[in-house]
Chain A
Amino acid sequence: MEAIVLQILNGLDKGSAYALIALGLTLIFGTLGVVNFAHGALFMIGAFCAVTLSKILTLSHVVIDATKKDFLGNPLKVEVPYIYDFVGENAGNVIIDWAVPLSILFAIPIMVLIGFIMERGLIKHFYKRPHADQILVTFGLAIVMQEVIKYFYGANPIPTPAPEAFKGSLDFGAMLGFEANSIIYPYWRLVYFSFAAVIIGGVFAFLQFTTFGMVVRAGMADRETVGLLGINIDKRFTIMFGLAAAVAGLAGVMYTPINSPNYHMGMDFLVLSFVVVVVGGMGSLSGAVLAGFLLGILESFASMTAVLETLPGINQIIIYLVAIIVLLTRPRGLMGKAGVMEE
C-alpha cells in the first residue's frame, strides 16, 4: 500500500514536467499547426535561465587572502560576490539562496522573447510546408540551441539547489497513519507539483475566460473564418507561441533543483512529451495534461521492484507500450478530436 501511494506521488512530479511541456507543444500545434521539436530545448533554456541568474547573483571580484594558500601554495584568491557590496553579506546570501524561485521573474521575459524570435524568425516560414520539414527544421534548431548552451556552460551538469527552506522531505506516511519513513516526499517536488498545477490552471483560465483566449480558441477551430472577420489571428498566434515557450521555460526553471541541468536535458523530455501529446490526443490541451500525469504515474509504477521482478525491463518500455495500446483502441488519443491532423 505504502509503495503504491509513494509511486503515485513520484509520478505526480514527473507527470507535472511532462504535462507542462506537452501543454506547450499542444498549444503550438493547435494554434500554428507546427510540430515543434525544439520545445524540449526551450525547457532546457528555461533551466539555464535559472543557472544564469545564479551565476549573475554570484558574480564575484577577487580578494587576496594572504592567510590561506591555494593548491599551488600561492595566496588564496577568495571570490566575493558583488551582491555582498550592495546589500550586505546576510541579505546577499538570502538572495543567492532564493535564486531558483527568483529566476521565474527573470525567465519569463527571456522565454517570451526567445519564443517571438523563433516564431517570427524561423518557424513562420514553415507553416505551409509539410510536417516532416517542420520536424527537421525545429530538430535542427534544438541541436543548435544545445550546442550553444554547451559552448558557454560546458557538458557537465551544473548544481542549482533549491532554497534552504525547501531542503529535505515530508514524511507523508506518518501523516496518513503509516509507519514513519515509509512514504517520504521531498518538499521541492511538492512545490514543483503545486507550481505546475497553478501554471496549467492559469493557461486554461486564460484561454477560457479572456476575450483573447476566446479568439485564439476560435482560431484553433477555424483559422480562416476568424481571419475573414478581420481579426489578425497570426499576431495572436505569435503571442501564443511566446506563451508556450514561457510555460516550457518555467517548467525548466523549477526543475533545476530536482536534477542538475545539463545541455541535453531537453532531449530527454522531448520524445516522451511527444508521446504524451499523441496519447492525450493531438490538439487537445486537457488531453495533454491528463496523459502527462497518467504516463508519469505509470512510469513510476513500472520502476517498482515488485513489478520489475515479474516483468524485467518494463520500466523502459511502459510509456511506449501504453502509447501503442491507446492508439490501437482510441486512434485519436484519449481526448483527441476528429479532424485534427487527419486531412
Chain B
Amino acid sequence: MNYRMISYYIGRILLIEAFLLIFPAVGSLVYGDGTLLSFAVTIGALTLTGMLAVRKKPEKASIYAKEGYVIVALTWILMSLFGALPFYISGHIPSFTDAFFETVSGFTTTGSTILRSVEALPKSLLFWRSFTHWIGGMGILVFVIAIMPKAESSSMHVMRAEVPGPTVGKLVSKLRASARILYGIYCVMTAIQIIMLFAGGMPLFDSIVNAFATAGTGGFGVLNNSIEGYNSVYSEMVIAVFMLLFGVNFNLYYMFLVRQGKQAIKSEELRWYIGIVAGSTLLIAVSLFTSTSNDVADSFRLAFFQVSSIITTTGFSTANFNTWPVISKFTLVFLMFIGACAGSTGGGIKVSRLVILVKSGLRDIKKAINPRSIETVKIDKRTVEEPVVKSVSVFFATYMLVIAVSVLAVSIDGFNLETTTTAVIACMSNIGPGMGAVGPYGNFADFSILSKLVLSFDMLAGRLELIPMLMLFSPYAWAKKYS
C-alpha cells in the first residue's frame, strides 16, 4: 500500500474542497448571515491539512486498484468530516454527529436530514448543503481528474472506484478529456434547469439550490415541505423531468453530442428505465385515483413526480406519500432498491444491474430445464462477460446483507419495522426520506448516535457501491502479507 501517494492524492482533494467552500463563504458575505467565520475556519483547516499532505510529491507515484479504492473511501469520509465543520462551528447544528450525518447525506446525494426545520438555517449553509449534492453527484475525484494538469494513467483505478455501474467505460481515449466532457454536460444541464426554474417564477436562490439538489439527485430543499411548498405545477414538472434526465447514463448524452443519437435511444438500460418509470407511474396513479380524493390529473401528477423522485434516488416530495395506499408505498420501496441508470448521478442498485440479474436468472431457469444448453447474457446485443454477471449477483447479495445488518443495528432504537427498514434502505440507496417517522414530513433527528453513524456508513457504501467502504474495514486490505 502506497501510503504517501494516498495522502498526497487526498491532500490535493482537500485543497479543492477548500476552494469550493469559497462559494458559500462569499454567499454568507453577501447575505450577511453571520456564518462567515465558520466558513473561514473550515477553509483554513482544509488548506493547512491539504498543504501538509501535498508538500512533497512522493517518488513512487504508482497507484493500483487497491490504492484507488482506499483513496476514494478515505476522500469521501474526510470531505464529509471537514464539510460538516461550518454547520457545527456556526452552532446551527450543535451536535457534530448530526453535522457529519447531514454532510455525508449531502455528498452522497442522499438528502436525509436531521433538521426539524430546514427554513431556520441561514442561506449560506442552505447553499452549502445543496452544493455538496452537486459536488457529490458526479463525483469529486472525477472532478479532480478533469482539472488535473496531466492524468496519471493509474487514475483509471480511481475513476472506476467512484463512478457507479457494473462496468465503466471512457468516452474518449484520454481520461481527463472524458472527465471534462462529463462535467461539461453536467454543468450545462444544471444551468438550463436553473434558468427554467427561475423563468417559472421561483426565486433565484431557490432555483439554484433546487437545481443543485436535482442535478446530484440529492433532495435537500429550501422549504420544510420540499417542492410541495412552491405550489407550482410548472416547477414540479421541470424538476420531475430533470430528475429523470439526471438519472440517465451520461454516456448517452455524449453519444447524442457526437451524433450517435439513434444508438443512444436503442440503449436497453434506457428502455427498461423508461418502462419502469411509466409502469410505476400508472400503477400508483390508478391506486391514488381509486382510493383517495384526487382527480385523474392530480393522481398522475403526484404519481409521476414521486416515481421520478424515488427511482432517481433524489427524494423530493410533493405529497406525504406516508398516507398513500399500501400498493403505492410498496411500489416506491421497490423503486428505492432499483435506483437510476449506471453512469448517472443517482444511487440504488442501478437499472443495468437489475437487467443483468433478471436476464441471468431467466438463463439459469432455462439451464435447469436443459442442462446442456449454453447461453450468454446479452445487453445491447453484446455479451456481458461472465465475471461481470457474477459480480452483479455478488453485489446484490452484499447489498442486501449490508441492509440486513444495518437494520439490526438501527432497530436498537426501537422504532417500528416500517421506519427502521425504510430508513436504512433510503440511506443505502441515497434517496433521503423513507416511510413512517422518516417519511417526507419526518426527519432522522431522533435516531441515536450509533444509528446515525451506521446510516452514514450506509450512505457512503451505497454511493461508492460497497467495495471501497467495505474494503476500508477489511483487515485484508491493510495486512502486509496480502499487499
The answer to whether A and B assemble together is no
